[in-house]
Amino acid sequence: MSVVRPIAPARSLRTHGTHVRPSLNWRAGVLAGLSLTAPWALAVLHRVSQGQDLLLPPDVLKATTLSMGVALASTLTRGSSLARTWQVVGLAAAATAALAVLEPASARIDWYAMALTAFLAGFLMLTAQRLARPVRIGAIPSSTQIGPTDPAIDMLMDASLAQGPYDVLLINPEVSQNPSWSRYVITSACAGTRLDSIVDHIEQATGRVMPDRHRPDELVQSVRQARLYAAVKRGCDLALVLLMAPSALILSGIAMLAILVTMGRPIIFAQDRVGKDGRVFRMFKLRTMRPRKEGEAQCATAVNDSRITPLGKALRRTHVDELPQLWNVLIGDMSMIGPRPEQPGLVEKYEGLIPNYAMRHAVRPGITGWSQVRFGYAETVEETAQKLEYDLFYIREFGPAMDLSIAWRTVMVMFNPAHVR
């Protein structure tokens, strides 16, 4: 019997599922359509009321497109209804501010009205999501123990008691060979039910992989096939570093002066880390801890670590201490997005205890990454093994969509204490 340890609490499948979305009913469809057409319709009506022609000028066209983008971006938000509403408010404010800077001619636009329109579009889209018909998911248990599941997933124990039809039916390969279930599975498939693997569904819903259920070549296939994107990503890294350089230098200078006054030298903390293909490099950070005492064991940063100074806590909370890593990105040791690099001693330890740990070195390490925004820091070997499952998911899904998702989530969790130690 194949036994897989539980990999997520029940709420994870509901909160973080990405590949099964509710289907729109007619009410939700109408609201979704209004959210996308409202900015255009209001702009046209305003011009008609002013006696102008219906053709929108370029600056208004960009502003209305931006409002529509806020509506689409609101579909990516997570959390309670109130939290999601405030996220849309933030999206509308950030989008209008960005357009004001990037498009000086747009100063003629009534920004109050445009921000209100963007918020209205996003709020309509959120409401449409709330009204969408939930996807019915059924799962047929098998010899594989999958741990806790979402309460919204019906666990089917007997084909005769199954209340169909389901939109998605989660099965394992051996189920279709089971006489007591084969007819039900075939009938469901013919009725339009989508058949999906239980393991694949859980991995996509939780953003983690089960390493013992995949061959190493399957996990790194996306990295091998995305050579063009890897080159594009490297170019984007360089562009972002150059764009951030002026403000990063100013903030780093202020922080370095504060470290010199309160903690003394050294100011820069340099440490060996393991990068792509297992190559060791020197990673730079602003010092936030007291110097390691002679004979003190090398260990990962713990919650409320006594080695962190009061100034260091502030630098870590604001992530200013990581600004020197932009140099590592510039010279190619790191990327903006990727698994966090570990110390050689810890890597050697983890490789001896955790299967497939070395696979996380298939890509450049990053300043932020999938395991950072979804899991946070790992202190124990058990936590490191769980964190590896997120890193391997990133490697398996390596591509622009994954990196954009991480960049968005990084903004959402940047100042979350759970992701700072």
Evaluate the CA torsion angle 155, 206, 14, 302 in order and state its sign: positive
Report the interhelical angle of 310-318 vs 227-262 (nearest 10°). 150
Maximum Cα interatomic distance, the chain, rounded to a whole number of Å: 81
Please state whether the peptide bond connecting residue 291 to the residue before it is cis, i.e. omega within 30 degrees of 0.
no
**How do the pLDDT tens digits run along the chain, 421 residues long?**
333 333 333 333 333 333 455 555 667 777 777 777 777 777 777 777 777 777 777 767 777 777 777 777 777 776 666 677 777 777 777 777 776 666 665 556 666 666 777 777 777 777 777 777 677 888 887 655 555 455 567 777 776 666 667 888 888 767 667 777 878 888 888 888 888 888 788 788 788 888 777 788 888 888 888 889 999 999 999 999 999 999 999 999 998 998 888 888 888 889 999 999 999 999 999 888 776 666 555 555 555 566 778 888 888 888 888 999 999 999 999 999 999 999 999 999 999 999 889 999 999 999 999 998 888 888 889 899 999 999 999 999 899 989 998 998 888 777 555 555 5
Give the per-residue pLDDT at 2: 33
Give the per-residue pLDDT at 15: 33
Beta bridge partners of 281: 273
CB contact burial 53-84 (16+ within 10 A = b; e otherwise): eeebbebbebbbebbbbbbebbeebeeeeeeb
Give the separation between CA 286 and CA 322, rounded to whole angstroms: 7
Measured CA distances, 235 to 18, 232, 273, 327, 332 (Å): 28, 5, 23, 15, 11
Give the per-residue pLDDT at 4: 34
Q: Are 63 and 115 in contact (CB under 8 A)?
A: no
Give the per-residue pLDDT at 164: 63
Give the per-residue pLDDT at 326: 95
Tokens found for residue 186:
């075939």
Give the number of other Cβ atoms within 10 Å of residue 406's Cβ: 21
In this prediction the pTM is 0.66
Q: Are 321 and 286 in contact (CB under 8 A)?
A: yes
Give the per-residue pLDDT at 204: 83
Give the separation between CA 397 and CA 7, rounded to whole angstroms: 19
- Bridge-based pairing of strands 268-274 and 280-286 is antiparallel
